[in-house]
């Protein structure tokens, strides 16, 4: 006959037994572009989410690396944070990569899949905080398809947004509006519009008057220098700069 008290003690010992398996070591990666910073989706939000995810999933977080103000379309040479995380994973310093979303890896779907497969081949899965059902270390056709569909849809939506922005700029430019870039001499950017720059407008008038009188570009450069006028960036006036002023205003 079994002793109930002995059985109860054995059950308690079983419940109290701890899992001796080593915790997976994780490296977090976070990224925001300049536009996302403006929208308030900053690094701090992603950092906190990655840390909570690691705690909830019993992952030992080694470090969180990041790239601030960097577009996901940039290559690894411009994304030091991601390159560092990948190097440490391949060196065996961590077991998995934790990201806020998969699109933090890359805006381009093909590059995203290349990174996913590269880490998968090395036994380094990627975990997504906001997409917990997406597994990158599985051969399950359904899960692979879901991940790829989400990536493709994201790329498609971004292409639409870029298309709308470009179309809007073209329409505005056709109407004579300011769509970015360095304003020509005599003007300056006032938020989204171009306005006259009084100091530079005076330079433009001098250049145009001297050119109409037959002065060479080099002679105009000498005259501007002698009168105390300075170019925007260079240390001295160059004939090509003067020529661009003339061509823009004539």
Highest mean pLDDT among 59-73, 143-157, 164-178: 59-73
31, β-bridge pairs = 67
Structure confidence at residue 4 (pLDDT): 54
Q: Model-level pTM?
A: 0.49
Look at residue 199 and tell me whether its pLDDT is greater than 80: no
Judged against a pLDDT cut of 90, whether residue 54 lies above it is answered with: yes
Q: Is 33 a catalytic residue?
A: yes
pLDDT of residue 16: 45
Annotated active-site residue in 33, 73, 216, 244: 33
* Per-residue confidence (pLDDT) for residue 1, from 0 to 100: 46
Residue 243 has pLDDT above 50, yes or no: yes
Q: Comparing 151 with 55, which gets the higher pLDDT?
A: 55
Mean of pLDDT values over 205-224: 91
- pLDDT-derived band at 187 (thresholds 50, 70, 90) equals low
What are the tens digits of pLDDT across the range 9-31?
555 454 444 445 678 999 999 98
Q: What is the mean pLDDT of residues 94-111?
A: 84
- Top pLDDT among 174 and 140 is at 140
44-61 mean pLDDT: 94
User: Would you say residue 240 has pLDDT above 80?
Assistant: yes
> Who has greater pLDDT, 165 or 130?
130
Highest mean pLDDT among 77-81, 88-92, 170-174, 180-184: 88-92
At 61 the pLDDT is 95
Q: What is the mean pLDDT of residues 210-218?
A: 91
Structure tokens at 96: 């998995």
């Amino acid at each position: 006959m079994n002793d109930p008290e002995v059985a109860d003690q054995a059950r308690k010992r079983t419940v109290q037994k701890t899992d001796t398996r080593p915790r997976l070591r994780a490296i977090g990666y976070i990224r925001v572009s300049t536009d996302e910073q403006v929208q308030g989706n900053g690094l701090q939000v992603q950092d906190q989410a990655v840390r909570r995810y690691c705690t909830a999933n019993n992952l030992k977080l080694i470090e969180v690396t990041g790239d601030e103000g960097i577009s996901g379309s940039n290559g690894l040479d411009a994304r030091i944070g991601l390159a560092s995380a990948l190097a440490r994973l391949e060196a065996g310093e961590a077991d998995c990569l934790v990201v806020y979303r998969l699109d933090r890896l890359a805006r381009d779907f093909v590059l995203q899949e290349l990174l996913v497969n590269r880490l998968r081949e090395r036994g380094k899965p990627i975990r997504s905080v906001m997409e917990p059902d997406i597994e990158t270390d599985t051969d399950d056709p359904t899960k692979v398809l879901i991940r790829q569909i989400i990536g493709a849809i994201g790329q498609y939506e971004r292409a639409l947004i870029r298309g709308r922005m470009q179309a809007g700029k073209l329409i505005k430019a056709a109407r004579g509006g300011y769509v970015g870039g360095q304003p020509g001499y005599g003007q300056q950017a006032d938020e989204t519009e171009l306005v006259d720059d009084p100091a530079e407008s005076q330079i433009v008038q001098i250049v145009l008057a001297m050119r109409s009188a037959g002065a060479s570009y080099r002679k105009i450069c000498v005259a501007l220098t002698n009168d105390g006028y300075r170019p925007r960036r260079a240390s001295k006036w160059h004939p090509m700069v003067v020529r661009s002023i003339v061509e823009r205003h004539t």
